[in-house]
Amino acid sequence: MLKIENLQCSINANPVLKGLNLSVKPGEVHAIMGPNGSGKSTLASVIAGNDNYDVDGGDINFDNQSILEISPEERARMGIFMSFQYPVEIPGVSVSNFIKTAVTAMRKFRGEKPLSSSDLLKAMKENMDLLKMDSGFLSRSMNEGFSGGEKKRNEIFQLAMLNPRLSILDETDSGLDIDALKIVANGVNRLRSAENSFIIITHYQRLLDYISPDHVHILSDGKIVSSGSAELALKLEKEGYDEITK
Amino acid sequence: MGRKKDKEIIGELTSKKYPYGFVSDFDSDTIGKGLNEDVVRLVSRKKNEPKWMLERRLEALEILRKMTPPKWANLKFQNINLQDIIYYSAPKKKASLASLDEADPELIKTFNKLGISLEEQKRLAGVAVDVVIDSVSVSTSFKDKLADLGIIFCSMSEAIQKHPNLIRKYLGTVVPAKDNYFAALNSAVFSDGSFCFIPEGVRCPMELSTYFRINEAGTGQFERTLIVAEPGSFVSYLEGCTAPQRDENQLHAAIVELVALDSSEIKYSTVQNWYPGDKNGKGGVYNFVTKRGIAHSKAKISWTQVETGSSITWKYPSCILKGNDSVGEFFSIAVTNNFQQADTGTKMIHMGERTKSTIISKGISAGKSNSSYRGLVKINRRAKNSRNFSQCDSLLMGNLCGAHTFPYIDVKNSSSVVEHEATTSKIGEDQLFYCNQRGLGNDEAIAIIVNGYCKDILQKLPMEFAVEAKKLLELTLEDSVG
C-alpha cells in the first residue's frame, strides 16, 4: 500500500530525513518511535503533502504510484489521513459542518452522492459514542477553545468519519491523560481492519500498551535504525534511545 | 480559472459602451456630458417634477459648487470629473436578447454558480419580453396586499408625483444636500430610487425588495431611497442583487435615508456586487454612498451589509440615535480582492438617553486589495447611560493585501460605556493545509474558513439573502490563494 524508498527531505535547507525506507501493507499497524528531532513529524507531514518540506530525493508510493507530485487534498481523497499533533482552529466553523464538508468532498471524489443529513448525523452519533464525546461537541467551532485532549479526540473522530485506508497518527498520545488515551486507543482499535493501515508516531511506549503494533521502527537522525516486533518498543522503554540508536 | 474568466466576461459586459448610443425621438432627450443648471432643470422636467422639487435640486447644485470631493478616506483614485458624466439619457432601449441561449455562456455559468433562478437570469442577462410580464403580475399582487395595509412602496419618481406631502416632509431630513460632496451631487441629479412608507402600528408582512418592482427599475447611477416607519411599525428592506450587474456607469452616488419614528424598527440589508474591475485593477464601479437613519424614541435601526463588488467602496451606513432608548446596529462584511479598495464603516451618534449601539465589522482582503474600517461612536453629553459595543475584525489572505482600522470614539459624559475590540488574522498556510488534508481543495477551504469567519453576520441576513451572500463570498474569493 505504502512504499517509501530512500526518502530525503529538508526544511529551509536543513536535512531532516536522510534516506528513509518504509513499507506498509494493508491491515498493518506500524509504530514509529524516536527521540525528539529525529524526523518523526516530518515524515508524517511529507506523506500528507505539506509543502513546507522539500523532498530532495527518494520516492513515496501509494497504491503503486508516486504521490510526490500529487496535491495534499488529492492524497487525502486517495485515502491518506493524518491526525495532527497540533490541530488548527477554524473559528466559526462547527465540527459538524466541517466534517460534513470533508465527507462530502471525499464522496464526491469517489463519485458518490452526498450523505443525507440524517445518515450523516447517525454516523456522527455512533462515532461520538465510540469516542465518548458528548453531542454538544458538534456545534462547537473547530478546535477553538478545545483542551488538548478534546483536540486529539476530534482528530480521531474525523478519522472515524472519513474511514481512510492509511491513517498517520502524529503524536496523538501527547497531552492525553490515561483515560483519554484509552478512549482514543479503543477508537483506533475499532477502526482496524484487513484493509486499513496505521502509522503511529509516538515518543513513548504507553500508547502501544493499548494499540498493539505489527511492526515497530526506531527513527534516529532521519533514518530508521532498527525495526522489529512489538517487543522492540518494550526494550526501548527499558533501555532508552541512547542504547538502541548507538 | 473560473473566477478570472468570469471577471473578464463580466468586465467585457460592463465596460462595453452602450452600442446604440443615447439617441431617441427628440433632440432634447439627448444631452451631452457635463453638469450645470440646464442639466438639472432638464432632469427635473423629464420627470415632470413639481416646482418645489426642482428648487431643491437647484439648491443642491449650488451647494455642490462650493464643495470639493472628500480626501480623508484611505482610498487611491484619480479625481472624478463631474463634467465628464452624462446626467440624463432617455430610458435605455436594452439590447434585448430573444432568449438565454443568446446570452454569454460564461455569464450564465456565473449565474448558475450563484444559484440564480432562470427568470432572474433572463432579466439580468437582458432577455426581453415575458419576464417583465411575470414580474408585473408578481409585483401587482404584492402591491395589492401592501396597499390593504396602507403601506406605500413605489419608485421615488412616482412618490414625488403621488405623495408629495410625505416626500416634502421627510426627503433630505436625514441626509441634507450639504451633508457631503456626493450627497449634494445626488440631491441635484438623482435619477430614481425607492420610497417606502409603513403606517402606524403596521408590521410589514414581507421583506420589501427592489426585486418586486423591477419592471419600474431604472435605478441607475444616482439612486435615492427613503424609508419612513411610523410609530410602532416594522419593516425589513432588502437592497441589491447578488448577481453581477451589467452597468455602464463608473460613478455611483446613492443616498438612503431611514426615518424610524417612535418604537418602530427598520432592518435594512444590502448585498452589493457591482463590477469590481478586472484583475489588473482596470475599470469597475466607484461606489460613493451616503446611508443614514434617524431613530426616534425606542426605535431601532439595523444595517446589515455584504459588500463584495465595486472597485472603490466609500460607504458608512449610520444611525442618529435621537430618541431616548433608541437602538442602532451595524453588521458588515466587506470583501476586497485583486485591486479593490473599500473604506467602509459606520457612525453611531448617541443623542438620547440610554441609547444602545452595536457594531460588528468583518473585513476580508485578498490579492492586492485594501480594506479599511472607519467608524465613529459619538456619545453626546445628554446621552446619559448609553452603551456601545464595537468589534472590528480583519482577515488577510496572502502578503500583498492590507487591512486598516480607524475607530473614532468621542464620549461626552461619564455614565456611558463604550467597548471596542479589534482583531487581525491571516488565513494561515496551516489552516489551508489542515483543510487540504481533509480532502478540501483551496477554494473549498477558503470558502469554509471565510464563511466561518463571517457567520455572525450572515446569520443577521434574511435567509434567502444569506444563502446567496454565502455563495457570493465564495465566488469573490475563488482563486485568491494560488
pLDDT at residue B249, rounded to an integer: 55
> CB count, 10 Å around CB of A222?
22
CB B481 within 8 A of CB B450: no
Would you place residue B456 in the very low, low, confident or very high pLDDT band (cuts 50, 70, 90)? confident
Q: How far apart are CA B223 and CA B241, in angstroms?
A: 15
B334 vs B340: CA distance, rounded Å: 11
A50 touches chain B (CB under 8 A): yes
Question: Which of A75 and B467 is assigned the larger pLDDT?
Answer: A75
Task: Confirm if B151 and B199 have CB atoms less than 8 A apart.
Answer: yes
Whether residue B2 is predicted with pLDDT greater than 80 in this model: the reply is no
Q: Which three cell numbers stand for residue B475?
A: 465566488
Q: Given CB atoms, is A98 within the 8 Å cutoff of chain B?
A: yes
pLDDT score of B26 more than 50: no
Position B19 scores a pLDDT of 29
Give bridge partners of residue B407 from the DSSP assignment. Answer: B375
Question: Which of A91, A105, A141 is facing B444, going by the closest CB pair?
Answer: A105
What pLDDT band is residue B105 in, cutting at 50, 70 and 90?
low
State the DSSP code for B30. B
- Cell representation of residue A217: 521502527
Q: Which three cell numbers stand for residue B270?
A: 444590502
A84 shares contact with chain B (CB less than 8 Å):
yes
Cα A174 to the chain's mean position, in Å? 13
pLDDT confidence bin for A101, thresholds 50/70/90: very high
C-alpha distance from residue B122 to each of B16, B211, B235, B298 (Å): 19, 14, 29, 43
DSSP β-bridge partners for residue A66: A61
What's the pLDDT at B340? 83
Residues of A in contact with B436 (CB under 8 A): 49, 71-73, 76
Q: What is the per-residue pLDDT across B396-425, written as a single tens digit (0 to 9) for each?
A: 887 888 888 888 999 999 999 999 998 888
CB contact at 8 A, B204 and B235: yes
Instruction: Say how many C-beta atoms besides its own lie within 10 A of residue A191's C-beta.
Output: 17
Strand partners, A223: A220
Q: Are B104 and B7 in contact (CB under 8 A)?
A: no
Is residue B426 scored above 50 in pLDDT?
Answer: yes
| Position A234 confidence tier, pLDDT thresholds 50, 70, 90 | confident
Nearest to B183 by CA among B219, B154, B225: B225
- pLDDT at residue B63 is higher than 70: yes
pLDDT score for B295: 97
pLDDT digits (tens, 9 = 90+) for B292-316: 999 999 999 999 988 887 778 888 9
Query: Using CA atoms, how far apart are residues B228 and B294, in angstroms rounded to an integer?
Result: 10
Does A196 score more than 60 pLDDT? yes
| Closest-CA residue of chain B to A109 | B439
- Regarding pTM above 0.95, the answer is no
State how far the alpha carbon of B137 is from the alpha carbons of A63, B130, B237, in Å: 61, 11, 21
- Window from B71-80, B107-116, B319-328, B465-474 with minimum mean pLDDT: B107-116
The β-bridge partners of A216 are A31, A228
Q: Give per-residue pLDDT as tens, B132-164.
A: 333 333 445 577 788 899 999 888 888 899 999
CB B301 within 8 A of CB B328: yes
B436–A71 CB contact, under 8 Å:
yes
Q: Which three cell numbers stand for residue B283?
A: 475599470
Nearest to A90 among B431, B436, B439 (CB): B431
Residues of B in contact with A158 (CB under 8 A): 438
| Average pLDDT estimate for A129-147 | 90
Q: Which residue of B has its CA nearest to A71?
A: B436
Which grid coordinates are listed for B382?
Answer: 445628554
**Above 50 in pLDDT, residue B213?**
no
Q: Structural domain boundaries of chain A?
A: 2-245
Q: Nearest by CB to B436, from A76, A90, A98: name it.
A: A76
What chain A residue is nearest to B441 in terms of C-alpha separation?
A73
**A113 Cα to chain B: minimum distance (Å):** 16
Q: How many residues does chain A have?
A: 246
Contacts of B455 in chain A (CB under 8 A): 92-93
DSSP letters for B294-363:
EE-TT-EEEEEEEE---SEEEE--EEEE-STT-EEEEEEEEEE-TT-EEEEEEEEEE-STT-EEEEEEEE
Mutation to test the B interface, candidates A51, A93, A159, A165, most B Cβ within 10 Å? A93
For A15-67, how does the pLDDT look when each residue is reduced to its tens digit (9 = 90+)? 999 999 999 999 999 999 988 889 999 999 999 999 889 999 999 999 999 99
Which of A81, A88, A92 minimises the CB distance to B452?
Answer: A92
> And the C-alpha cell for A10?
529538508
For residues B368 and B340, is the Cβ–Cβ distance under 8 A?
Answer: no
Residue appearing with cell numbers 498493518? A28
A98 contacts in B (CB within 8 Å)? 438, 448
Q: Does A32 touch chain B (CB under 8 A)?
A: no
Q: Which alpha helices (DSSP H) does B16-129 contain, by range?
A: 37-46, 51-65, 105-114, 118-125
Whether domain A2-245 has CATH 3.40.718.10: the reply is no
What's the mean pLDDT when you consider all of chain A? Answer: 91
